[in-house]
Amino acid sequence: MGEEDSTSATEDAHEEQEELAPASSKTPTIADVARLAGVSIATASRTLNRTRPVAAHLQSQVLAAARELGYAPNPHARALARAHDTTIGVIVHDVSDPYFSEIVRGILQATSDAGQMVLIANTYRDRERELAYMASFRARRTGALIIAGSGMEDRDFGALMTRQILDFEAAGGRTALIGRHYAPGDVVMADNLGGARALAEHLVQLGHRTIGVIAGPERLTATHDRLAGFRGVLEEAGIALPEQHIIAGGDFTREAGASGATTLLDRVPGLTAIFALNDVMAIGALSILRSRGLRIPEDVSLCGFDDIPLAPDLWPPLTTVRVPMVEMGAQALALARLPKGSEIRVVHLSTRLVVRESTAAPRSR
């Protein structure tokens, strides 16, 4: 393949912006330079914007044509060509959620001295929106993309994500995933399963036998893994966790936690402990327990997951599982900065049980 044919589709997309200038314009365009030099627009752009090496004889032709026409490169197109190296896209569910804001904090800390711009997109767990943002970041020639949105137990959606990731990387970008997805790519994985097991073991050791769970969206991989780890320990201990003890379908919000706690207290007589699958839902559950005059942990123990910055400042301070969210963001950025490898790279990060005053041995209510 010759120099004239070796351009990529993504280069053509932004380089042709100048070709589309009105024909009546007196200002020479890069298309005029390319025609006079007898080369493609892509080759003319590479020469004048210095984005890639060009053969010496072609470079001479382009420079001579530019001098003859009095052509000056478009600064906007130049910035667009170079954005590939300086812009990082981040896709999250909702940056106002403490879990995602901590991940973004890790990314921003890691880019603070690198002169890179971070663009953040909220999907609100809308799958079509997530795919659209991936396509948009590709069109913007974003150099790296970190996907921390919604890992779904959905292989069809995983196939659609895979197509977007492959297209993004074919355009020269690099991707990294946070959490478990059914899509290929370098990934940072926190031990949700192990953290939930540690929390369940804590409650079992305290003597709890009648436990309720406030789960998140049923199709999220995080919900699946945390619930599986928790349930597994209870089964090993011979403790039942009937389906009516699990409130599913919420969205990891304070409102979902409050609603879930209300349902559990009405549905499960003698409930002694509640496990909310994230700290934000645990905060909602805390408000309902107080409104019903129940003491924590004397009447009902309460625990969450993530260890958001607010967790130790609640009253009582919340027992939870610490997820290294800031480190997850920084590690994902490090993966996205690496050249694409032949093997998928996986960074496993451990979680840790943090026992505080919101859990204790059960007492008769």
The last residue of a domain, from among 73, 106, 130 = 73
Mark whether 197 and 303 lie in a shared domain.
yes
Tell whether 128 is covered by a domain.
yes
Question: 246 and 272: one domain?
Answer: yes
Place 23 in a pLDDT band, splitting at 50, 70 and 90: very low
Sheet of 186-190, strand order:
117-122, 87-92, 144-148, 174-178, 186-190, 346-349
Confidence of residue 27 (pLDDT cuts 50, 70, 90): confident
Residues 201 and 316 in one domain: yes
Same domain, 314 and 272: yes
Say yes or no: 29 and 132 in one domain: no
pLDDT average, residue stretch 186-190: 95
Q: Alpha helix locations (H) across the chain?
A: 9-19, 30-37, 41-49, 56-69, 75-86, 98-111, 127-139, 155-170, 192-206, 221-236, 254-267, 279-291, 325-337
In this structure, are strands 186-190 and 346-349 parallel, antiparallel, or unpaired? parallel
Last residue of one domain, picked from the residues 73, 108, 123: 73
- Asked, for residue 354, whether it belongs to a domain, the answer is no
pLDDT of amino acid 7: 38
Are 216 and 178 in the same domain?
no
Report the pLDDT value the prediction gives residue 364, as an integer from 0 to 100. 63
User: Token pair 């997820």 is at which residue?
Assistant: 323
At 346 the three-state DSSP class reads strand
- The dihedral over CA atoms of 249, 255, 260, 266, expressed in degrees to the nearest 10, equals -140
DSSP 196: H
Q: Are residues 110 and 36 in the same domain?
A: no
Domain residues for the domain of 39 are 3-73
Residue 227: Cβ within 10 Å count: 22
Which pLDDT score, from 0 to 100, does residue 77 have?
52
pLDDT confidence of 12, banded at 50, 70, 90? very low
Query: Does some domain include residue 242?
Result: yes
151 or 288, which is more confident: 288
Same domain, 220 and 127: no
Residue 14 belongs to a domain with what CATH number? 1.10.260.40
Residues 154 and 227 grouped into a single domain: no
Whether residue 200 contacts residue 166, with contact meaning beta carbons closer than 8 Å, is answered with: no
Residue 60 shares a structural domain with residue 50:
yes
Can you give the pLDDT at residue 5? 40
CATH number, domain containing residue 227? 3.40.50.2300
Predicted local confidence at residue 317, as pLDDT: 98
The predicted structure's pLDDT at residue 6: 38
Residue 365 lies inside a defined structural domain of this protein: no
Convert 15-29 to b/e letters by CB count within 10 Å (16 or more is b). Answer: beebeeeeeeeeebb
Q: Which residues pair with 189 in a beta bridge?
A: 348
Asked if residue 96 and residue 41 are part of one domain, the reply reads no
| Residue 25 covered by a domain | yes
Helix (H, G, I), strand (E, B) or coil at 320: strand
| Domain assignment of residue 78, yes or no | no
Number of domains present in the structure of the chain: 3
pTM of the model: 0.77
User: In the Cβ-directed half-sphere of 295, how many Cα atoms lie within 13 Å?
Assistant: 9
In a domain, 184, yes or no: yes
Span 319-352, pLDDT tens digits:
999 999 999 999 999 999 888 777 889 999 999 9
Same domain for 297 and 199, yes or no, is yes
- Residue 31 belongs to some domain of the structure: yes
